[in-house]
Each structure stands twice: as structure tokens, then as C-alpha cells.
A and B are shown apart, each in its own frame.
Chain A
Amino acid sequence: MAGKKASVWTSISFWRRSAAWVTGLATILLIWLTFDTMAQIRMGTDQELKEGIKRRIPAPTVINYKIDYKYDEKRGLEAPVIGPEKQPLFGKELSPKEAAALLHLGKLTSQSKNCMDCHTLLGNGGYYAPDLTKAWLDPMWEQTMPAMTGKKTKEEAMVAFLMHPDKYPTHARMMPNLGITEQEAKGLVAFLKHMSSIDTNGYPRGFSKTIKEFQTGGTYAK
């Protein structure tokens, strides 16, 4: 080298240029990834549901179908299984418009009642109450809660519980009465059923196991 000894490592200009480059490129990559992800997480259409085309976030009409959560051998995790059997919410199949309206009401209610500061949704929120990601599939709604609320179906039991949670305590830690109306409660049930159909890459892991264990009276079943 013809030049004199010069350490680049203590040169501010080197670090400044590197910082600008790295920040800029990371930002561009993030924006690119965001475009790609947006395309994958937009809500699907009713047509796709009918044709059995998988979407990460299905159309609101997914609430007309039976939803399950099963281990996928290839992916090594559990994934939602939608249909093909129908299982309309409250026994009445909804049009895409009606389903979207009900989901809208449910999502809006979930925010205005501030569910997220006690519960987690998709694992995010408060840690004071159970995670709601797959709440629709929770075994508690199969027998315990319908019996407690005196309702025949789980969706009716959910509505009864949401309207008067203080009347149906399951633990010392109780959900407060938030003044949820019947229509809002129905919306929330639609919102929860829709959320359980989202492909969350296997979170919460082992949820299907709980369902089986509790149904068969597993170790911790009460």
C-alpha cells in the first residue's frame, strides 16, 4: 500500500455510511416483505371457501362451516381444518354480507370492551385471562358451559356467558359484566369463531391435545 497507515475502524464517516446503508436496506426489505405478507393475510373470499382453497385468514363466511384444529404431519404443527361440513352459527347460514357485518360488529365490540387488556388474542394482550385465539374450540364450551348456562348449543352458551359473566363464575378470578348486549355478544362469538379459523402456524401448540384429554377425563380434568 502506498498510503500511510489509516484505521477505518475509528473513522466516523465509515460508520455513518454503514449505518445509513444498513438502515436503508433493512427498511426496504421490511417494506418488500410487508407487501408479500399483506397479499397472504388479506381476508379470503366466500368463493375460495366454497372451492376449498386454503387462505391464512378465511372469509367471514367461515362461520358457516365446521372448524377443527388438527396436527399436520408435514408442517409438524396443528392447523385449522375448515369444513367441508357446514355448522352455521346459531343454526342459520349467513350470506357473505351478513357474515361480514356480524364479524365487523364482533371485532368492534372486542376493541370497545377492551378484551385485550385481560385476554390475549393471537397471543397478544393481557395475561390475566385465557388466550382467545382458539377459544371457539375450547372443550369448556362443549359440555360445562352449556350445562351451566342452561343452553343447548355452545354459541348460545357463549352469548349467555358474555352478557352476564358475573352470573357464571368458573374460577375466583371472574370476568366483569361489561354491559355487552345480545347482538354484540353474537358478534363476539362470530369474531371468536373466525379467529379460530386463522392459520397461526401451530399456536397455541397442543391445543387439540387438551381437547382430547379433557374430553376423556385426562389427568387434570375437573
Chain B
Amino acid sequence: MNADRALRDPHDDGLNDHAREQIEASLAAHAGRPGPLLQVLHEVQDRLGYVPAAAVPVIAEALNVSRAEVHGVVTFYHHFRQSPAGRHVIQLCQAEACRAMHCEQLTQHAQRKLGIGLHETTADGRYTLEPVYCLGNCACSPAMMIDGRLYGRVTPESFDDLIAPLS
């Protein structure tokens, strides 16, 4: 939540200049197309790392929909974040094919190693750990994604090796 506060100008309840610029650029990139809300939210999250609560009324007004509608879409989809993630997002697959290769054990190892649970971020802001339901790497389970990079046949040892160099 600190970063959420950092985005705001203390003299204003709205967004700081940088965040406002990014949101307006996101709107400009998609607003003219049919049914643009999901694409706008993707763009905002790609630029800011999450969708700040203060962005909701700005997007709603620009697209001429209610705040409730924008909030409803943000909260419906697992992908959209309402608060910033850690510097590195680690997604561990929990679906059937990975279960067949005992991903629960890998998940437990990861939680112990990082000292956090799923959907949590380490206190130093380095890692966020998340469950994911299928990365399409099911013949090489268990699968994991770190910052958009896919890994297969992950073991506790290879997990440790992969996260160690991330700062």
C-alpha cells in the first residue's frame, strides 16, 4: 500500500502526474475501439504495475461507463492487481497435470523458502508468490513462471537456483 500512497500527490486525493499521464496514454491507445475496457486495464497494469483505485473513476469517465462497471471488471479477473506486486512475480502452477507431479510439495518448499504464503509479497518487496491454473507446459510439470519466463520440471533445488540471482 506504500507505493499506492507514493503514486498520489499529498495535496490532492487523485493521482500524481506520472500515473495520470500513463492512464491517459492507456486510454488514448484503446478508447476508440469497440469494447475497450479490458484492453485499457491491461495497458494501465503494464505501465504502472497495477490498477490503482484512483484510476477507476478516470477510466470510467473516459469510457462513459459507471465506476461500478470498471471496478467490477478489475475484481472479476485474477490477472488485475489492485496493489503493486513485488519486483519479481513467481507463479506456481497448481492444476491437475502439475499435481500429478506433486506441485504441492514444490509450493510448500517455495512458501518456506520465501517465508510467505500464496498471494503474498516478501517484506523486502522482492518476491510475490502466486498460484496459477495452467501455463500450458503440462508435459513438463511442475511448471512455473517468473516475470513472464516459463520453466518446466521444476524441483526445489532448481527453484532455489532460479530465484537466487533475482534482486
A binds B: no
List the interface of chain A (C-beta within 8 A of B).
Answer: none
Binding site for A on B (CB under 8 A): none
